[in-house]
Structure 1
Amino acid sequence: MEQKQIDFSKRVFILTAIVVVGLIGLWTVQSINSLMGWFSSHTPREISVFAEGKATIVPDVALIRAGVTTEGKDIEIIVNENNTKMNAIIEMIKSLGVEAKDIQTTNYSLTQRYDYLETGRYFRGYTLNQEIAIKVRDFTKVGDVLEVSVSKGGNLIGSLQFTVDDMDKVKALALEDAITNAKQKAQSIAKASGLKLKKIINIYESGVTPYYGYSMGGGVAMDAKMESGIAVPQIEAGEQEITVSVTLTYRIK
């Protein structure tokens, strides 16, 4: 009789434990669901949109590289000859209306020249290179600058490159266009999905299409005597586009 009472007590204890564990499990599930619901209702909802903007670049500056190369065995002679020619080129360029601040010396180098033969190394003389970068703002003068760079003794004409002086201003216009496009895109998405846009919480500029200007040709060495009668070329700068990409992040409800 006593043994049966003990077995009955164990059964009651086990059933009670099962019920308690079940209740605890049920409470835990409900608590987790409630907690998830709370987080869901209190976590900010966001949407991000990506768009691009463009701005047309109309070059306002032409960059020209010109130079004089002189060779010889007497340093004093080649320095005087080289400087005389370069000074004449610079003065003529200034007479065309190019300001002194737009003419910059970019290279002045004197090097030794040797012939390398089986019997040894033999000194040939010196080479003096002097180069300038010219910024031409009046495109009607570009051809004239190229012509005098040769006719006054220059024998090195570098690339002709078109660019803009204030690139930041152009980028700002493209960025403004990108943001406008992104806002319109966000409004379209919100209208189609039934969402309501609140405020912009982040603006990320994800990329700018590189613009390095564009050039015509590379450096060409020439005989000034042969080329002194060259015709002045007609120069067309054209235009180009720059692209900026942005991502806008909105709070929504």
Structure 2
Amino acid sequence: MLRSIGILVVCAALAAPAWADDEPGRIAVSGEGRVESAPDMAVVTAGVETTAASAGEALAANSAAMTAVMEVLTAAGVESRDVQTTEIGLNPVWTGPQPGREEEGMRISGYSATNLVTINVRALDGLGGVLDALGQAGVNRIQGIAFSVAEPRALEDEARRAAVADARARAELYAQAAGVELGPLMELRDSFAARPPMMLRAEVASMDAGVPVSGGSVALTAQVEMVFAIAD
């Protein structure tokens, strides 16, 4: 019985290399495609920070200021669905001791209230005017502006096609350099990574009215991994 088991193990070990030799060689490559486009919308994060002696006064002043901001946005044509509150905060304002009175330590001298909103501006030609109106309404915090494409699907597909073409070109180059013939595609993995889009080449473009704004261009990038067989 033990001899039979030993024979089976030896046979299996001898058969494994023969199976591995039958497996065709492979060429694994990666490819990248990038498409640039002018943005057609902007996302602005802005709001109001107010300070007062008490927490209630700070919140009341902040609420009044943000009400004015919302009214300005409505007047500028920004729809309610394009405005979203992203941060509300209330914090004490600490003041250090006066010179010569260090033993008193830190004390609360007031309170600071913050309210930030994210605004989708879908008409870039009006972005400068929106920013100008926000400033006049009392906005004193602008966290940043990001530019993007509202409907990126067509650009994403173009980037994917470019990534596949790039990977195939690399595989053909490697096959030629190695002196072999490229066989059929065996595997393809998509690792699309285009969101959020990246800012590129910011050329200053003054709007018809309001704050000068640089739209530049955005890039959508796709990556693929492809495995080709080596033809016999």
Partner residue of 1:200 out of 185, 199, 206: 185
Q: CA deviation at 1:201?
A: 0.8
Q: CA deviation at 1:169?
A: 5.4
C-alpha change, 1:77 and 1:52, in structure 2 (3 Å) is closer
TM-score, length-scaled by structure 1:
0.67
1:67 aligns with 2:47: yes
Tell me which residue corresponds to 2:81. Answer: 101
C-alpha change, 1:76 and 1:173, in structure 2 (3 Å) is same
C-alpha change, 1:113 and 1:51, in structure 2 (3 Å) is closer
* Higher percent of residues as helix: 1
C-alpha change, 1:36 and 1:113, in structure 2 (3 Å) is closer
Contact 1:149 1:157 in 2 (8 A): no
SS in 2 for 1:175: helix
One-letter code aligned to 2:187: N
Q: How many residues end up aligned between the 2 structures? A: 205
Q: CA deviation at 1:232?
A: 1.4
C-alpha change, 1:211 and 1:133, in structure 2 (3 Å) is closer
Q: Which runs of 5+ in 1 are unaligned?
A: 1-31, 216-230
Contact 1:182 1:248 in 2 (8 A): yes
Q: CA deviation at 1:187?
A: 4.8
Tell me which residue corresponds to 1:146. Answer: 131
Partner residue of 2:71 out of 91, 113, 119: 91
SS in 2 for 1:200: strand
1:120-162 CA-partner distances (Å, limit 9, x unpaired): 3433122111111111111111111111111112222222221
1:41-88 CA-partner distances (Å, limit 9, x unpaired): x22232334433221143222121221111112444333322121111
Kindly, what percent of the aligned residue pairs are identical? 26
Q: CA deviation at 1:195?
A: 4.6
One-letter code aligned to 1:69: E
Partner residue of 2:107 out of 101, 118, 122: 122
RMSD of the TM alignment (CA)? 3.3
SS in 2 for 1:92: helix
C-alpha change, 1:192 and 1:97, in structure 2 (3 Å) is same
SS in 1 for 2:212: coil
C-alpha change, 1:209 and 1:91, in structure 2 (3 Å) is closer
Q: CA deviation at 1:178?
A: 1.2
TM-score, length-scaled by structure 2:
0.72
Q: CA deviation at 1:166?
A: 5.0
1:131 aligns with 2:116: yes
Contact 1:161 1:213 in 2 (8 A): no
Partner residue of 1:183 out of 168, 184, 199: 168
Tell me which residue corresponds to 1:241. Answer: 219
